[in-house]
Structures are given as C-alpha cells and as structure tokens.
Amino acid sequence: MSTLFTVERLEAFAAQVLVALGALDEHARVTARRLVEADLRDRTGHGIIRLPLYAERIEAGGINLRPDVRILHETPVSALVDGDNGLGQVVMTLAVETAIEKAKVSGLAWVGTWRSNHAGAAGVYTAMAMREDLIGIYFAVASANVMPPWGGRERLLGTNPVAVAIPAGAEVPFQLDIATTVASHGTIKVKSQAGESMPEGWVIGMDGEPITDPDRADEGFLMPIGGYKGSGLNFAIGVLAGILNGAAFGREALDHRAVYDVPANTGQAILVVRPDLFLSLDDFKREMDRQLKVFRGSESMTDAPVRLAGEQAAAIEAERRQDGVPVPGALLAKLRALAVRLGVDDQLVEQE
C-alpha cells in the first residue's frame, strides 16, 4: 500500500536528508527536485527510492558534498563539466543549463560530464531543454555493469539509457526515456520492494534460464533491447557518454550499489538542438502537432488508442501534481528510519 505526499513535502524531505548528510543547501534542493521529478513521471526506480542508497554512499565517503563543479573547457557548441565527484543531479543540471545557453546562441550544443555520479532519470534532463522549446537528447553510462556484450559472459555493459524530448505546439510532446536493457535496475528494485516477480525476458541466469525473482537479478544478466542491436546501441552510448568525456566505461565502470567508498567517475552527455535551424519554430511546432495527431489517430489493434512515448508520463505527472506522489509502504519505512537516524523532522514523511 502506498501513501500520497505532495511534491513540496517530498522535495523538502529529500533536501533535508541531504543537508543532514552534509550537502550544500542548493545542491540538496536541486537533487531533491530531480528525484521527485522522476517520481512524478512514474520513473520510480530513479526517484526518492534512491535516497537511502545515496545516503550510504555519502556516509562511506563515495560522494563529495563540497565539490567544485565547473566547466573544464568549452567551445561555442561544446563543454566538458568536471563534477568533482559531486551529486550527479547537480552535475547534470549544470551540464543541461550550459547546453541550453549555448544552443540558444549557436543553434546546438553538446555537453559531457566527467567525474559525475548517478543522476537519476534521463528524461528529467531532456525535459529541461524541451521546456525552453529546444530538442534534448541524453546519454549516460549506467552506474553498474549488468550484462555482457552480445554473445559474451562477462558483465561489461550497463543499462546505458537514452532519452529524447521534442517540443510541440498544442499536442502532448514526444518524450522517450528508455534503458537499452529490457528493464533497468531501478525498475527491478521497485519490483523487489513491492514483493513482485519479474516477467521472463528481463534477466537470464548463467545457464541461460530466465530469472524472475528480482532479489536474484544479480545472479544473472539483464537482457538488451532488440538482441544484438540493443547491445550495439548500448556500447555506442558508452562511447559517447563515457570514453568521449574521459569517464568510466567497461571494466572501469563502478557498481555504485556495491562499492560505496570509491568515486564512480560516471559519464553523461546532453545534446541540445534549436528546432528552428531549418524551419521557423512555429512551422516546426505545427508540423509536430500534425504528425502527432496522425500517429495518435492511426488505426489501433485494440480498443485503446495508439499511444506515443511521453503521453502516459505526462498524464501521470498531471495527476500526481494534483493528487500527490505515491510512496510504497516498504520505501516509506526506509525513509522514516533514515529520518530518525539523521535527526530529520519525521513529520515531513507523514500523511497530512
């Protein structure tokens, strides 16, 4: 059973926990906002559920709470952000803000991160660009290796996500946010906390047989989307978000769920494009609206209408902003225990 909380209360609670752990006020607020934005769009595996794990890494010394997050070098259309092992949400927020500023002037911008950490849901960063009438494309090297290259047995690849957000006019914008594995570790964690089984096809064991118990997921491999095609896409993302930035990839990628006291050197990248490079912004939005209507109004195989990426997330976000964000009982108990241990006002996680 879940309890509903307002966005404001969840953000305030998460920020207070991070401050109690030693984070700077502004860094705590930014991180809390990005976590709750993930929950708002039902990316619950990367939302407030991550707070206890972050606390463990912080207390073990694996995250720098007084980082000098800065731009190492830049051109009019690019930048490399040094996260100084700070909170990933803080590092990526600066990266996106930098890319937006440059893209508005130059038409497009690519910004990578180095020495970052797990930054949560990919789609919250592309949405930042989309809200500025810009196209956002995000890549990241995931913070744990969970599958081998196609045909292999050694875990060298993560869930390496990609997200794309494209503005529209009156229609619900297109927003894609996916792992390049069939399921992400965050989704598996949600299944575990809910006491539910995984569908076959998410994870296979070393013997090739399916694993459906989420608590046994680490005994096997996560499966790539689209077979060898997803495996290849996963590797390409690792190059674009990892090698290109000097960040960790392959054997150097750290499992932040298991190693708490070592910097992760996580790599991410954001590409921001102004949609008026070839058409006027108004013309682009009109054409986006026209095509979105065509696709959504196309013939369905079921009684339900055809649905495009981002449509359900937008509806869930609107509902949760009005009614509250659900926090499952098992997670709520962990958050309350964390609050008590850190001396944070427990009223922040109690129902009004």
Query: Which residues are marked as active site?
Result: 118
CA-to-CA dists, residue 352 to 199, 215, 322, 337, 349, angstroms: 36, 33, 15, 19, 9
**What tokens were used for 261?**
């006291």
* Beta bridge partners of residue 211, listed in sequence order: 203
Burial bucket for residue 300 (CB in 10 Å: 0-12, 13-18, 19+) = exposed
Residues 6+ apart with CB under 8 A from 192: 214, 215
For the chain, how many residues are written? 352
Pairing between strand 220-222 and 325-328? unpaired
State the DSSP H helix or E strand holding residue 74, giving kind and residue range, or none if neither. strand 70-75
Residues 6+ apart with CB under 8 A from 76: 102, 105, 106
